Structure 1
Amino acid sequence: MEFNYITTLGLVAGVLTTLAYLPQVIKTWKSKSAQDLSWSMLIVLCIGIVLWLVYGFSIQDIPIIAANVVTLILASIILALKIKYQNGAS
């Protein structure tokens, strides 16, 4: 795959949108609470990310694949913390 300004633009966009989840992961972990996060939002988000990954692999697009692998990891951490901290358990 040739790297050009479009690929670079895609990688930068992917990094920025992926890093947007990091503060939520940190906040959820530190507060030991995910009460304000919607189950349906987290589940739909994870399904959407998986579909983006399938799409990225099907067109062999590195920026889409890389961004969504990391985003899926971060979203999965948030989902796992939501499960762990439900009902006020720590």
Structure 2
Amino acid sequence: MTTIIGLVAAFCTTISFLPQAIKTIQTKDTSGISLSMYSLFTFGTILWFTYGIMSNSVPVYLANGITLILALIILIYKVRYK
């Protein structure tokens, strides 16, 4: 039951990044996104992903792996289309 709750929570928080990533890819508009915030967020996500792998926690590494990809896309667009 704990893993199921973790997976549902991971799904909810991870999927919340999808609309921003899609909008950023479509419009290339990152003017409302803070570079420092997204840089720090992406670094934190890398650490959570690493923690999930090291602790063998599927919900943690799965959610943060997907979130990391989405956050990196947004961060790359922020730097590229300044």
TM-score normalised by length of structure 1: 0.86
Give yes or no for the alignment of 1:15 onto 2:23.
no
Runs of 4+ in structure 1 over 3 Å off:
none
Q: Distance in 1 between matches of 2:77 and 2:18?
A: 13
Per-residue CA distance 1:13-52 (angstroms, 9 max, x = gap): 1011001101101111222210110011110101100110
Gaps in structure 2 of 5+ consecutive residues: none
Identity between Structure 1 and Structure 2 (%): 43
Q: Distance in 2 between matches of 1:79 and 1:69?
A: 15
Q: Distance in 2 between matches of 1:66 and 1:44?
A: 20
Match for 1:47 among 43, 48, 57? 43
Secondary structure of 1:34's match?
Answer: coil
Question: Where does residue 25 of structure 1 map in the other structure?
Answer: 21
TM-score normalised by length of structure 2: 0.94
